[in-house]
Amino acid sequence: MKKMNLEEIINYINSLEGYQGYVQFSHREIDIKKDVFIDTNPKIENEKGFIYEAHFCNGKNSITIKQINDSFMIIENSVENIDKRDIDIFKGISNLKIKMAQIWEEIEDEDFDEFKVKKLKNVVFYGFKGDEDDNSTI
């Protein structure tokens, strides 16, 4: 986890290449033309509000950005080995199909005689789904 100020977080987002994602600002609704990045690299400007949260994914890493008090937290998760059965699709603004991935970890559980069980570790943004087929990303 990294902590950054607003200027640093804007520069960080604008440096991402090959990522799909979106940004939610504090002072307005999501503008699909300015805040959603499907087939272009993310580029945002400093606005009067702040970035409430942002999510990006390039198929290898998922990045979550959340505003906490006076700084921003960046949380990165590897999604290279996500099983397709662990990806769910949700309907977003303007009928966008948003892919979310469940990240599981195997842990020993004393209730199961020390057998390893899967425990949900995190749910992360995994990109946008296209209309062509179930495996596509636009």
- Tens-place pLDDT, residues 75-130: 999 999 999 999 999 999 889 999 999 999 988 877 777 788 888 999 999 999 97
Largest CA distance in the chain: 55
| Domains contained in the chain, number | 1
The pLDDT assigned to 136 comes to 41
The pLDDT assigned to 131 comes to 58
Q: Is residue 102 part of a domain?
A: yes
Determine how many CB atoms are found less than 10 A away from the CB of residue 116. Answer: 11
Where residue 138 falls among pLDDT bands split at 50, 70, 90? Answer: very low
The pLDDT assigned to 112 comes to 74
Where residue 14 falls among pLDDT bands split at 50, 70, 90? Answer: very high
The pLDDT assigned to 48 comes to 85
Domain encompassing residue 114: 2-128
The pLDDT assigned to 133 comes to 46
Q: Is residue 136 part of a domain?
A: no
CA 33 to CA 79: how far, in whole Å? Answer: 27
CA 42 to CA 16: how far, in whole Å? Answer: 6
Q: Is residue 91 part of a domain?
A: yes
The pLDDT assigned to 96 comes to 93
- pLDDT tens-digit readout, 23-70: 999 999 999 999 999 998 999 998 888 899 999 999 999 999 999 888
The pLDDT assigned to 108 comes to 84
Q: Is residue 137 part of a domain?
A: no
